[in-house]
Amino acid sequence: MTIFNNKSEIQDHISKAKSKGATFGFVATMGALHNGHLSLVQSALQENDVCVVSVFVNPTQFDNVEDLKKYPRTLEQDVALLKTVSNSILVYAPSVEDIYGGNTKAEHFSFDGLEFEMEGQFRNGHFDGVGTIVKRLFEIVMPNIAYFGEKDYQQLAIIKKLAQKYNLPVIVKGCEIFREDTGLAYSSRNSRLKPDYRNAAPFIFKTLTTAKVRFGTKSAKEVTKWVETQFAKNKFLELEYFVIADIETLKTVKRKSKFKTYRAFVAAYADDIRLIDNIALN
Ligand code: PAF
């Protein structure tokens, strides 16, 4: 396992290997790695000669200082976990200085409106921060294929848009949500859930699964109402939004069309921990 903290060192290493024909798969993370991340790493290892994993808690994508402070930082544990998958992974764990120099600010992007839906309404500036870091990481790592989980489906759509708009020479691949046996989607935030909230959290996916069945015969409005009622009865989870959206535009569906593809999206608080999940509907 080689760990790089410095962008010129990893760039140099990757450029040399690329000139000999090696292909690179890339998994960008903020650390606190879990099985969901490892499944992305497995895909990267299967489809490329080398896998690079970045571990960087990106300050510019947090709109809440407390959330940034509390975000788990567990590099040693992360490296140990990656070693269980393969010893040949390259880890890039830069400092804020290495990425941002003296200017820890996000660039401003237009993602053709994708950034204003769902998460965009609740997390001010979040996608500018994500766009800034992912563009920089792509420039440093120069991957052939980059892997992102569908749990952050809106983020995935925005990163695909970023690559397309800036003609970045990378294939952005979405990977299925990795779930516990209970159905709860793996997330770095799960480790912070207190027992009662941990036990309550699988309700999110259970409700999404039933919403999917209901969407077969009911309107988007009826399904949305039903989901909101279910959450209102749950004393451990507070719904922030439930949205059924067109997967191309991420806009809330007004009237169902059999020619379009939809997904249902949830954000909910379990105590002070914000969880998100989504499901394909058709
Ligand atoms: O999904 C994440 O963990 C982050 O948003 C990402 C893509 C690593 C950028 O910081």
Superfamily designation of domain 2-175 = HUPs (3.40.50.620)
pTM, rounded to two decimals? 0.97
> What average pLDDT does this structure show over 101-128?
97
Name the fold adopted by 188-280: Pantoate--beta-alanine Ligase; Chain: A,domain 2 (3.30.1300)
Give the position, in ligand 1's atom list, of the atom nearest the Cα of 188.
3
d(CA 114, CA 110): 8
> What average pLDDT does this structure show over 206-218?
98
| Any atom of ligand 1 within 6 Å of the Cβ of 130 | yes
Residue nearest to atom 5 of ligand 1 (CA): 130
CB 244 within 8 A of CB 251: no
Number of Cβ within 10 Å of residue 158's Cβ equals 26
Domain with CATH 3.30.1300.10 in the chain: 188-280
pLDDT tens digits, one per residue of 215-253: 999 999 999 999 999 999 999 999 999 999 999 999 999
| Any atom of ligand 1 within 6 Å of the Cβ of 134 | yes
The predicted structure's pLDDT at residue 126? 97
Percentage of the chain modeled with pLDDT above 90: 97
User: What does each C-alpha distance from 150 to 37, 65, 66, 114 come to in angstroms?
Assistant: 11, 26, 26, 15
- The residues carrying an active-site annotation are 37
Domain with CATH 3.40.50.620 in the chain: 2-175
CB 129 within 8 A of CB 100: no
**Ligand 1 center to 57 CA (angstroms):** 8
| Any atom of ligand 1 within 6 Å of the Cβ of 133 | yes
> What average pLDDT does this structure show over 132-161?
98
d(CA 102, CA 55): 20
**Ligand 1 center to 62 CA (angstroms):** 11
CB 107 within 8 A of CB 131: yes
pLDDT bucket at 89, cuts 50 / 70 / 90? very high
**Ligand 1 center to 31 CA (angstroms):** 9
Does residue 67 carry a pLDDT above 90? no
Does residue 205 carry a pLDDT above 90? yes
**Ligand 1 center to 119 CA (angstroms):** 14
Instruction: 222-229: list long-range contacts, CB under 8 Å, 24+ apart.
Output: 223/264, 227/264, 227/266
Mean pLDDT of the chain: 97
